[in-house]
Amino acid sequence: MDPKIDPIEMDRVSAHIRADYHRHSLLNLWQRAIRHPSTCEQFPVGPAQPTVHNIEQAWEQVRIREAYDHAAYIRSCLPKVARTNPASDIIFSSGGSTGKSKILMGTYGETLYNARFHGKGYNFAGIKSDDTVFELGGHGTYDTDYCAYHALSKIGCTIIPVNDHKRGRENAEIMRELRPTAILAVPSGLYPLISYLEKMDVTHDEVRLIVTGGEPLSPQLRQRLVQRFGKNVSFGSVFQTSDHGTLGFECAFCSKGEYHLHEGLIYVELERKRDEGVSELVVSNLHRSRMPVVRLRTGDYVEWADPNGSCSCGLTSRKIRVLGRVSDLLKLGGTAIDGKILSSLPERVGVHENKINIVIRRDQLNRDIIEIAICDELRSKHEKALQAGLLSIEIIETAIRAGRVIGPKFVAPLGKKEKTSDYGKLRVLRDLRELEPVA
């Protein structure tokens, strides 16, 4: 491995050099993580220390984790004594895919190091040095928007830092005054802004690009954005999770759901699910020290889009294609169903997805209950269409007729804690069966 190669340039090297880099990096991660109180139990007991020649085989014996206990993890990361080589630690929150915030910790240096890869992803997603970027943040009380600023600074663009995405009117005023050419946001953070622009019938044709990450951009929200920012607005995306860091990015040649991997930052494996015929993404972060990430599931079903690194853009990093979330697959009335069928109901009947929730609960007879949580005004307009749309799903209609599923019942909108948290992301479908007592 050539020590002169910057890891951030690992998507411009040959497959041989990349594989050599991954072997050395995995060996270093093994040496750190096997001594860490929160990851040591993942490692096999007894075998001798692996070498760079057999580390890939040894790595397959390391136990895959579903998740980490973040509170316990943080406690185990806090230094007990003064450090020989001082390095500031930073504790921050990040939006979790379940709607519950996750508390993370890292050295300030490695946090900014990770942000360099974010910046690279934003650049390939379309943000250029002559852009004025409306960075729509504020997803928690101690979040990491400063990392986005650091990442964007590597591109050389002008940054408009917006620290509260919920202030639709105020943020629209900022846009009117400063005329940004690009927007960077988590999709859920766009709803207050787009709702206000729709209410006031305001358009902004000067915005040429919207880059999102952290969750998928739904077709309905994409169409609403096109109506406000013009048919020529383009979209870019990055792939990231709070636990694993930034994972990948789109280039101009990526098809929908395809991402180049940050080969210099992570090591990925595709674990085949025998019963389901698909693979789940498993990630190890090669550079985190305070909170090592070792063979941790992302909860995403993926497949290789380009396993050899031969993209027309010229990058040699491999590409994956994200097929969906593990949580999309659920059982309703004893029958497996793709949850995306339920999540798409608002779009199919013309209700804004941020104004409705499809809720699944369980009653005392162990029957599943489907509820539609919506305000009275929208219910009066769309009740028949929503009911018909739900019953048009054959699996659900059959289960309701057989008495295995009850509903649909119309209920008041969910409270904040049920719907999502301040840090969480929009979820149209809310499966509360494991989170609350029976109804």
Question: How far apart are alpha carbons 419 and 311 in whole angstroms?
Answer: 40
Model confidence at 142: pLDDT above 60: no
399 close to 328: Cβ distance less than 8 angstroms: no
pLDDT at 430 over 70: yes
The answer to whether residues 57 and 37 touch, using CB atoms and an 8 Å cutoff, is no
pLDDT, tens digit, for every residue of 390-426? 999 999 999 999 999 999 999 999 876 555 433 356 7
Read off the pTM.
Answer: 0.89
pLDDT of residue 71: 77
Domains and CATH numbers, the chain: 89-324 (3.40.50.12780), 333-431 (3.30.300)
Describe the chain by its helix, strand, coil percentages, rounded to 5: 35, 25, 40
Please answer whether residues 408 and 387 qualify as being in contact, where contact means their C-beta atoms are separated by less than 8 angstroms: yes
* Residue 64 pLDDT > 80: yes
Q: Identify the H or E element spanning 104.
A: strand 102-107
Instruction: With residue 220 as reference, give the H or E element that holds it.
Output: helix 219-229
- Give the contacts of 420 (CB within 8 A, at least 6 positions apart): 99, 188, 426, 427
The H-assigned helical ranges of 125-186 are 145-153, 168-178
Residues near 24 by beta carbon (within 8 Å), at least 6 away in sequence: 1, 52
Place of tokens 């048009």: 392
Give the number of other CB atoms < 10 A from CB of residue 189: 25
Assess contact for 309 and 318: CB atoms under 8 A: yes
What are the Cα distances from residue 365, in Å, to 296, 369, 438? 36, 11, 9
Q: Which of residues 94 and 355 earns the better pLDDT score?
A: 355
Is the Cβ–Cβ distance between 112 and 150 less than 8 Å? Answer: yes
DSSP assignment, residue 393?
Answer: S
Contact 270, 281 (CB under 8 A): yes
For a pLDDT cut of 70, what percent of the chain falls above it?
A: 89
Closest CA to 59 of 34, 33, 26, 86: 26
Which residue has better confidence, 365 or 376?
A: 376
Rounded Cα distance, 430 and 428, in Å: 6
The band of 224, judged by pLDDT with boundaries at 50, 70 and 90, is very high
pLDDT (mean) for 140-149: 71
Element holding 297 (H helix, E strand): strand 293-306
Residue with tokens 């928007």, as numbered in its chain:
145
